[in-house]
A = this chain, B = another copy of it.
Amino acid sequence: MSPSPFLPLQDSNPQIKFFKKGTILQNKGEVHLKAFYIKKGLVRSYTIDSKGKQHVFMFAPEEWIIGDIEAYQYEHPTELFIDCLEDTELIKLKIDHLDQDQLNHEQLKKNLRLLGRRVGLLQRRVLMLMSATASERYALFLKDYPLLPNRIPQYMIASYLGITPEVLSKIRSQKT
């Protein structure tokens, strides 16, 4: 797993919430968005395209933050669903905690580093999607996230990589 992000703003009294596997935390079309800091468990965000197909945008295991920064920044309803892949403990954050006035200097700098890393991750993902073959994509995924494959169904990994589950299955069988 890549170097983990961190909590951008400690609520004075952060409330940990519990959710069962399968719970939907955010639906497409919602406007007043939250972000979620994952204490324990595994969460994912995804879109559903015009043909009804799911595309995994990201996975968030322990210590990650997940939310829709795009919708927040550009002020429109979210395209992303967010749901729990495992029983999960998390802290709800207001997404505008990123740049709120009351934040102090240190907290703002933390958030900058957090966002910088996210930009970096996305840059690598874009370049991968533009140039890598199916098996190169899987190899990169294993390198970046060595621990996740055991916790995530393969068809979701395939979706994250932009390939079909059938192709991923074939790649894995060839690798033996």
Mostly helix, strand, loop or mixed at chain A's interface?
helix
- Rounded to whole angstroms, the CA-CA distance of A70 and B53 in the bound complex is 30
Stretch from A21-29, A83-91, A108-116, A147-155 that touches the partner: A108-116
Q: Is the CB of A112 within 8 A of B123?
A: no
Q: Is the CB of A69 within 8 A of B119?
A: yes
Given A123-B70, A125-B126, answer yes or no on A116-B131 (Cβ-Cβ < 8 Å). no
A residues 88-111 in Cβ contact with B at 8 Å: 98-99, 105, 108-109, 111
- Identical copies of this chain, number: 2
Q: Identify which of B99, B120, B122 contacts A112 (C-beta below 8 A).
A: B99
Residue tally, chain A, CB below 8 Å to B: 38
Given A73-B119, A73-B120, answer yes or no on A112-B112 (Cβ-Cβ < 8 Å). yes
